[in-house]
Amino acid sequence: MNKKDLVRLLTVVLLVLVSGLGCSQSDSDRPATHPVTGTVTYKGELVDGATVAFQSVDGTQGAMGVTDSDGKYTLTTFQSGDGAVPGEYRVKIFKHELQGGGAAAGGEDGPPSVAVPDQPVAKPKDLLPAKYANVTKSGLTATVGEEGNEFDFSLED
């Protein structure tokens, strides 16, 4: 596993823990989820390594995913790739880089940055416009239903 993959894994784990998505509910107590996928582009280019986070309008549900080299993401709520609970969501998308080239997670309204162990924590540099890292400022929304949940996000300055 290379450094970039390790940082992505740590990002997802931290976001799941901080968001409370890893609750200890049994499968029968969980609300139904439906697959959610999509693509993220910035200035027409596919974005690799961006975190896509859906937060329900009422703040009770959340789901997230990380884009791959094709800019594609798949959301996770309770189990890897299970999607999201149906409803209205605000969306934030962010990608940060630490000084020195390490990746970091977090957004303006999200969890603190994560650094690779044994490296100093540095202020992250936004690799996408900062407004997209905040669900209240991004202007991005999605309505998750029982099917047809493909949400492509085209980001601009």
In a domain, 60, yes or no: yes
Average pLDDT over residues 92-117: 64
Q: How far apart are CA 44 and CA 132, in angstroms?
A: 16
Residue-number span of the structural domain to which 83 is assigned: 3-23+32-148
Average pLDDT over residues 3-15: 56
Output the pLDDT for position 103. Answer: 52
In a domain, 92, yes or no: yes
In this prediction the pTM is: 0.73
In a domain, 154, yes or no: no
The CA-based angle 80-81-83, given to 5 degrees, is 120
Indicate the DSSP class of residue 142. Answer: E
* Lowest model confidence (mean pLDDT) among 3-12, 65-74, 86-95, 100-109: 100-109
**Band (25; pLDDT cuts 50, 70, 90):** low
In a domain, 133, yes or no: yes
In a domain, 153, yes or no: no
Q: What phi and psi values does residue 88 have, to the nearest 5 degrees? A: -90, 135
In a domain, 156, yes or no: no
Q: What secondary structure does DSSP assign to 56-100, as a single string?
A: ETTSS-EEEEE--TTSEEE-BSSSTT--B-SEEEEEEEE-EE-TT
In a domain, 130, yes or no: yes
In a domain, 124, yes or no: yes
Query: How many structural domains is the chain composed of?
Result: 1
pLDDT at 47 > cutoff 90? yes
CATH code for the domain of 46? 2.60.40
